[in-house]
Amino acid sequence: MKKRIIGIFIALLLLAAVGVGIWYFFFREAETDENRLVLYGNVDIRQVELAFNASERITEIRVEEGESVEKGQLLALLETRRLQQAVNRAEAQLNAQREEVIKLETGTRKEEIRKTRAEVAAAKTEAENAEKTFRRLRPLGAKNLASQDQTDEAESKAEAARARLNAAEETLNLALAGPRREDIAAAKARLEAIKADLDIARKNLEDARLIAPDHAVVQNRILQPGDMASPRRPVFTLALINPVWVRAYVQQTDMGKIFPGMRAHIKTDSYPDKAYEGWIGYISPTAEFTPKSVETPEIRTELVYQVRVYACNPQNELRLGMPATVIVPLDQPREEAGEIPDCTGG
C-alpha cells in the first residue's frame, strides 16, 4: 500500500513537471515571439555587366572567373594604336592653334611696321617720279614734240604708282591697327573646339582600359583576347561584394512592427553558430503574393511586403542565393533608427 502511494506521488510529480514544461514552452516562447520577428529569405547582391565604352579589339584580359577584384583594378585592355594617334593629332592641332592665338593677341611686330613704312615711302617716291614724268611729257605732246603713246604710257604709270601708294598706305594702317577683335575671337573659338576634340580623344584612349567599379567577384568572363569589344558586348559579369542584403517578406499583420533602420541578426545554415549584424534598409511600398522561393502551401495566396535587410559581410561569407533567417528584435525605439552597425569588426 505504501509503495502504491509512493508510486502515485511520483506519477503526480512527473505530471506536474510535464505541465510546467508545457507552460514554459508555450507561454515563455509566446512572450519571446512577441519581442522579436523572424523572417526568412535569400541573400541578394547587385550584379554588374561590365563592358568597354569603345569599339576595338581586346588585347589583354587580366582576371579569371571566381577572382576577387578591388575597386579601380585594371581588368582588361583594348588595342590603343589608333586611339593614341588620334590623341597625338589633336595635341599637334592644339599647339598650332594656340600659337595662332598668341600671334593675333600680340599684334603686328615693330619690325613689320617699319618694313611697311619703308614700302610706303618707296611707293610715294615712285608715284612722285611717275607724276613728274607725266607732267613733263603732257605739254610736249600738245606741241607734237612727244608722241601720244609716250604721253599715255606716262599717264598710266603715274596712275599705277598712285594706286600702289594707296595700297601701301592701307597696309600700314592695318599694321598699326593690329588684328581685328573678331579674328581673335574666332581663333580662340577654334582653340576651344580643338581642346574639346583632344579631351574626347583622351577619353577614348582612357576607355581602352576596363576598370572595376567596386570591390567584386568575377562571376562570368564572357569575351576573350582577340574578340571585338563594343559598349553593347559585356566582357565580365561582376558580383559586387557590397552591399549585401537578405530579401525577405513580411506579412501585412507584421508591417506595423518594423521600420527602416531597425537592427537585425542574420543566420544561415552554412554558419549556424554565427550571427551577422544587419539593419532594415528598405520596405516595399506595395504588396505582392508570396514568392515561390519562400512560400508554403499555407501562405501561398497571402499578400506580403518585400524587405531588404542589409548585412555586414566583412569576410565575404554571405553568397548570392544563400537561404537566411532574419531575427528582428521588436523592442527598439524609433529614435535610434538609422544607426548603421560597424561592419569592419568581422
Residue of 235, 240, 245 lying closest to 214 (CA atoms): 240
State whether 130 and 215 are in the same domain. no
Residue pLDDT, tens place only, 301-345: 577 889 999 998 878 888 888 999 999 998 888 766 656 666 655
Q: How far is C-alpha 240 from the chain's CA centre?
A: 17
For residues 18 and 264, which has the higher predicted lDDT (pLDDT)? 264
State whether 64 and 130 are in the same domain. no
- The DSSP string of 78-122 is E--HHHHHHHHHHHHHHHHHHHHHHHHHH-S-HHHHHHHHHHHHH
C-alpha to C-alpha distance for 14 and 173, rounded to whole angstroms: 124
C-alpha to C-alpha distance for 82 and 56, rounded to whole angstroms: 9
Identify whether 279 is part of a domain.
no
State whether 110 and 180 are in the same domain. yes
pLDDT, residue 25, reads 37
**Residue 28: pLDDT over 90:** no
Output the domain CATH number for residue 67.
2.40.50.100
State whether 166 and 101 are in the same domain. yes
pLDDT, residue 314, reads 78
State whether 69 and 214 are in the same domain. yes
Least confident of 30-39, 68-77, 259-268, 319-328: 30-39
For residues 45 and 109, which has the higher predicted lDDT (pLDDT)? 45
For residues 24 and 128, which has the higher predicted lDDT (pLDDT)? 128
- The DSSP string of 132-171 is HHHHHHHHHHHTTSS-HHHHHHHHHHHHHHHHHHHHHHHH
For residues 76 and 36, which has the higher predicted lDDT (pLDDT)? 76
Identify whether 15 is part of a domain.
no
Picking from 203, 223, 252, the residue at the C-terminal end of a domain is: 203
Q: Give the domain range for residue 221.
A: 48-79+207-236
Residue pLDDT, tens place only, 73-85: 999 999 999 999 9
pLDDT, residue 253, reads 85
The 10 Å CB-count burial string (b at 16+, else e) for 217-230 is bbbebebeeeeebe
Instruction: Give the confidence band of 27 by pLDDT, cuts at 50, 70, 90.
Output: very low
Residue of 318, 260, 249 lying closest to 41 (CA atoms): 249
C-alpha to C-alpha distance for 309 and 300, rounded to whole angstroms: 22
State whether 110 and 174 are in the same domain. yes
pLDDT, residue 180, reads 72
CA angle at 269 for the pair 305 and 326, rounded to the nearest 5°: 30
State whether 54 and 198 are in the same domain. no
State whether 167 and 224 are in the same domain. no
Identify whether 215 is part of a domain.
yes
> How many domains are contained in the chain?
2
pLDDT, residue 113, reads 62
Per the CB < 8 A criterion, the answer to whether 328 and 36 are in contact is yes
Identify whether 221 is part of a domain.
yes
Identify whether 324 is part of a domain.
no
For residues 295 and 75, which has the higher predicted lDDT (pLDDT)? 75
pLDDT, residue 26, reads 35
Residue pLDDT, tens place only, 205-240: 999 999 999 989 999 999 999 999 999 999 999 998
State whether 175 and 116 are in the same domain. yes
Identify whether 260 is part of a domain.
no
Mean pLDDT of 184-192: 89
Picking from 181, 203, 225, the residue at the C-terminal end of a domain is: 203
- Mean pLDDT, the chain, rounded, equals 79
